[in-house]
């Protein structure tokens, strides 16, 4: 059963007024519900369908994990820039929003084993034929998700390595970014291949993925430190999803990718 966005906004307001709710597994089970944050603006991992319900690869994962924990799932929808600070201050227990695992973030949060991966690629507008990879973005109008480890941060690294962009625009979500690409406000974007493939499938000819991935990172469930029992149970759920073939099924449905789980590993890199 999907959670409607109206409920999410109401719950989000309540949580933002009451920090410090994040807890380890015993407290979550006593409470009876897992409080999780997502942007709802990163198709195909988390987005609103035509009935204003949250769906996507990460939402499937979230629902399975909550069921495995034996609790209700309460999803809080908010802009990406507020998600990790909110987790750090305890406004929710976990995050399901394509959160890359990085050494810097591991200093702050505990992570589950990977349930997804993010290959950062350059996406060029369909009629811009002379962008063939990251080294061709110098002097171009480029977009990416603001603050994202698979968006603005690698985009800025590309700019430093290959030369200054003509301009850079940060976005809250992929829908706005790819809409701007479609009408020509940006010539290229730095994004995960999963999001790019989803857009290209829906809008053939508007854009294309060019060159090899700039970087590949793993995606896990971040939680406050220390939460050893919660991490153990979430890791158990992820292994169960892999064993049952659910990650591959959802990857095929949302990403159009086969044997997705073969690209994952049982350790945090």
In the numeric block, the tokens 């171009």 are attached to 140
pLDDT at residue number 256: 81
- How far apart, in Å, are the Cα atoms of 150 and each of 10, 140, 147, 210? 29, 19, 9, 16
The pLDDT tens digits of the residues spanning 223-232 come to 999 999 999 9
pLDDT at residue number 206: 93
**Cα 252 off chain centre by:** 17
Burial class (CB in 10 A: 0-12, 13-18, 19+), 234: buried
> Rg of the chain over CA atoms, in angstroms?
18
- How far apart, in Å, are the Cα atoms of 206 and each of 42, 127, 203? 18, 8, 6
- Positions of the chain with pLDDT under 50: 1-19, 269
- Supply 115's token pair: 């349930």
Fold type of domain 5-115+220-263: D-Maltodextrin-Binding Protein; domain 2 (3.40.190)
pTM (predicted TM-score) = 0.80
- Could you name the CATH architecture of 118-217? 3-Layer(aba) Sandwich (3.40)
pLDDT at residue number 73: 97
pLDDT at residue number 140: 98
Residue ranges per structural domain of the chain: 5-115+220-263, 118-217
The pLDDT tens digits of the residues spanning 91-105 come to 999 999 999 999 999
């Amino acid at each position: 059963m999907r959670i409607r966005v109206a409920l999410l906004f109401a719950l989000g307001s309540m949580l933002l007024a009451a920090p410090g709710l994040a807890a380890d597994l015993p407290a979550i089970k006593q409470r009876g519900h897992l409080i999780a944050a997502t942007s709802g603006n990163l198709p195909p991992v988390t987005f609103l369908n035509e009935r204003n319900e949250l769906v996507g690869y990460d939402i499937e994962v979230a629902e399975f994990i909550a069921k495995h924990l034996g609790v209700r799932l309460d999803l809080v929808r908010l802009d990406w820039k507020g998600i990790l600070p909110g987790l750090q201050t305890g406004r929710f227990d976990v995050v399901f929003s394509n959160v890359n695992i990085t050494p810097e973030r591991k200093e702050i949060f505990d992570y589950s084993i990977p349930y997804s991966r993010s290959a950062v690629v350059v996406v060029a507008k369909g009629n811009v034929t002379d962008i063939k990879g990251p080294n061709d973005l110098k002097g171009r109008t480029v977009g990416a998700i603001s603050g994202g480890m698979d968006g603005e941060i690698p985009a800025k690294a590309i700019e430093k390595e290959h030369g200054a962009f003509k301009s850079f625009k940060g976005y809250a979500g992929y829908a706005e970014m790819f809409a701007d690409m479609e009408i020509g406000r940006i010539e290229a974007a730095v994004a995960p291949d999963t999001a790019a493939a989803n857009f290209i499938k829906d809008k053939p000819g508007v854009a294309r993925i060019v060159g090899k991935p700039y970087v590949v990172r793993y995606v896990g469930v971040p939680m406050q430190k220390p939460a050893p029992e919660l991490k153990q149970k979430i890791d158990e759920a992820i292994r169960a999803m892999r064993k049952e073939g659910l990650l591959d099924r959802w990857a095929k449905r949302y990403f159009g990718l086969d044997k997705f789980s073969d690209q994952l590993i049982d350790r945090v890199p």
